[in-house]
Chain A
């Protein structure tokens, strides 16, 4: 390794150690340095040099480290937390714990509806949308990359405790597939359709079916925003008659069906059904690769609180939107990938004891989804939580002067219990 570079890097690392009082005292006393700071179990000066050697050879560390040392001159949070590669296809396990910026056009197009209210407020305040690169998302992207698309479609499920980061992992995967020009069928939160206050209509297509005109129209708009280009290319393979005067001939672009559903809410749910049928056919004919992303898939198999006009309970099987998306979960098509999350909040109140997929999906859901690839989304590790706190500090989110000291950080980490969501809530009032 270059001697000059070695000197510079030694100097820089020495800088970090000097500024960080806890490290300094532990070094001076000869005690072991915690994993938290320098990515290794125990240190003496010799092993520090050894670590430094191996670490500087890593390109990413060299780039990010040289920038952040100047940025974070005055805080004790001197840690490289930014990844400068914004393409999810290039993310590897070396960049675990770093934040990458989703460009604002991509955010508005693909992720705008995918995230919860707290994160969208955070995006507005920080004036940028950054997602942390974590193991579960990287694992899922790996599976998608290496899957044999000739075989029947593979299903994968993110599961974990509330606030662990399942939706954010899904967003990362969504961003990756959008960059690879896949057709995205993304359902943000199907459990919303089970609530009592939804506006329902009797389906004109089949007797006994219940339509959700406004919800279907909302979903069609979301689908259109995510896949405008692909929808303009692809055309109908069958012709459909909506009523005596309205019909769609085969050969019209799919985007026309979407626009028809948006203008005529009465037929919006049927439009969704028709589109999914076309999309499946195109996937099997190898025209497009399809990603089906459903956040809270157990909402499709949980109790429904809707009531008809005659005050009768509606069975979830009779809701047309639910039927359409359930069909996508079957393995009778290929050239695609199904990524879902099971969320405890998507189930009915009486079935919220456990966060595991088998319990939340129930007997019926599990029989449909089995076999699937389960990917657990754990709470933050020490490295990730420290990276997150550095990011918050950089964006001026930790305002309390004691919040940036060691004691303050220890307290914040303890209060949040390494849970990403709770960390955001705890830091919001400091």
Chain B
């Protein structure tokens, strides 16, 4: 009971005000605060102003507070917001948002230039200009289907290939993307580097896709241990 009390934001605010030293807030306060019953907030504007049915679960269960990232804007994309958080360093959200916007802009510039200069009608139809579609498709190409988990059997730790859950796939894809860009040359702006990586991933080439293929190869090598999962 005491532990759950410490983790509430009200208590933390109390501590901050009445202590002379700075008390560090515990991370992930949202996931700790909400229990299983809490429902996700409604973000879709069209659904917000309609009537709720008699047996809708929102009438009976509590609802989580919407985060600052979530908005009813027509341009809101949950994937992009997650990606912005992964690009962010030291809590500098503005810089992260600027970088991701620059990435989208760079992707769009290359494709729209190709489109506007193309004379052939057939080729024009095939050029994809929407940066979000290219980004999502690139991420899909990086997502690994399997992953290796360590399972201890008889005192020995084995790397066992296991189906990769959806949320883990998304996380790994974004993480690899950001990491590979951070390793690159420092003089090129991050937005540009991300754009180059996404283009490669869209065509199923490049560092991130190779990393995924490396992981899948290792899973294939260790397939003898697959039954250790059960």
Q: Chain A residues in contact with chain B, CB under 8 A?
A: 121, 124-127, 395-397, 399-403, 405, 407-408, 411, 428-430
Contact = CB atoms under 8 A, between A and B. Distances in A.
Lowest 6 CB-CB distances: which A-B pairs, in order? A429-B101, A402-B74, A428-B105, A127-B116, A399-B130, A429-B104
B75 A397 contact: no
Contact of A395 (B73, B75, B105, B112): B112
A127 B129 CA distance: 15
A124 B115 CA distance: 12
A428 B101 contact: yes
B130 A408 contact: no
Contacts of A430: 75
A124 B109 CA distance: 9
Nearest to B103: A429
Nearest to A128: B116
A412 to B, nearest CB: 9
Contacts of A125: 109, 112-113, 116
Given A428-B105, A429-B104, A396 B112 contact: yes
Q: Which of A121, A407, A411, A430: most chain B CB closer than 10 A?
A: A430
B144 interface: no
A393 to B, nearest CB: 12
Nearest to A121: B109
Chain B contact residues: over half helix, strand or loop, or mixed?
Answer: helix
B109 A402 contact: no
B77 to A, nearest CB: 9
B116 A396 contact: yes
A195 B74 CA distance: 43
Interface string B123-153: 0000001111000000000000000000000
Contacts of A397: 108, 112
A125 B101 CA distance: 17
Contacts of B117: 127
B167 to A, nearest CB: 25
Contacts of B101: 428-429
Contacts of B132: 399-400
A101 to B, nearest CB: 13
Nearest to A426: B101
Given A399-B112, A403-B75, 12 more contacts: A121-B109, A127-B116, A395-B116, A397-B108, A399-B131, A400-B130, A402-B75, A403-B74, A408-B74, A428-B101, A428-B108, A429-B104
Contacts of B113: 124-125, 127
Contacts of A127: 113, 116-117
Contacts of B104: 428-429
Interface residues of B, number: 18
Nearest to A412: B75
Contact of A399 (B73, B100, B108): B108
Q: Which of A126, A400, A405, A408: most chain B CB closer than 10 A?
A: A400
Given A125-B112, A127-B117, A408-B74, A429 B130 contact: no
Q: Which of B75, B101, B131: most chain A CB closer than 10 A?
A: B75
Interface string B83-118: 000000000000000001100110011001101110
A411 B73 CA distance: 8
Contacts of A126: 112, 116
22 contacts: A121-B109, A125-B112, A125-B116, A126-B116, A127-B113, A396-B112, A396-B115, A396-B116, A397-B112, A399-B129, A399-B130, A400-B75, A400-B132, A401-B130, A402-B74, A402-B75, A405-B74, A408-B74, A411-B74, A411-B75, A428-B101, A429-B104
Contacts of B116: 125-127, 395-396
A126 B131 CA distance: 16
Interface in B49-76: 73-75
A217 B130 CA distance: 43
Nearest to B116: A127
B104 to A, nearest CB: 5
A124 B112 CA distance: 10
B207 to A, nearest CB: 24
Contacts of B131: 399, 429
Contacts of B74: 400, 402-403, 405, 407-408, 411
Contacts of A407: 74
